[in-house]
Homo-oligomer: A and B are copies of this chain.
Amino acid sequence: MGRWEPNARQRLEKAALDLFTERGYDLTTVAEIAERAGLTKRTFFRYFADKREVLFGGQEELTRLFSEGIAGAPAGATPLEAIGRALDAVAGIFTGERLAQARARQPVVAANSELLERELLKRTKMVQAMHDALAARGVSEPTARVAAELGCLAFGTAFHRWVEAGNRREFGALAVEALSELRTATAALG
């Protein structure tokens, strides 16, 4: 088997998700994932540190895009406008092609507390990245923290609606809507 397989990462992610859905996460081995993808275990570990990580491959890209989106917002943008740019920036990832994969992934993660904990750790890193990007724009504490948390909530809401059965709306539009709802909600906090 050659060292540089085309689309190795994507093939491993798809094979893992298929196997986790068929047999469950616990009963699937890395060797089986590699075999299903037509690759070796060694190749798997070139892309992922452990079995859990195969489900979180997109997270680094997401975090990077959030940071870039905030950094690239116009100079006069408010914290929530900068968050809006971050959500725009990630919308490009959530194409129709990715929808089936995202839909299959959710129940796998939800069914396993180990995966759920890893998901929360990734979420925390995402919030931290947004926070740091806002702080770099001069947004003070705790406004940067609150804006980052709202950005994460808007992302989570939009993602949830996007993967829902029957949804036909695009991620970008759902994110704009979710952020706008959160902005309105802050006015009702008292």
Contact = CB atoms under 8 A, between A and B. Distances in A.
Contacts of A120: 117, 120-121, 123-124
B78 A190 contact: yes
Contacts of A123: 120
A146 B189 contact: yes
Given A146-B153, A149-B149, A153-B145, A80 B189 contact: yes
Interface in A176-190: 181-183, 185-186, 188-190
One complex includes copies of this chain to the number of 2
A171 to B, nearest CB: 18
B188 A79 contact: yes
Prevailing SS type, chain A contact patch: helix
A87 interface: no
A175 interface: no
A142 interface: yes
A136 interface: no
Nearest to A144: B185
A83 B69 CA distance: 32
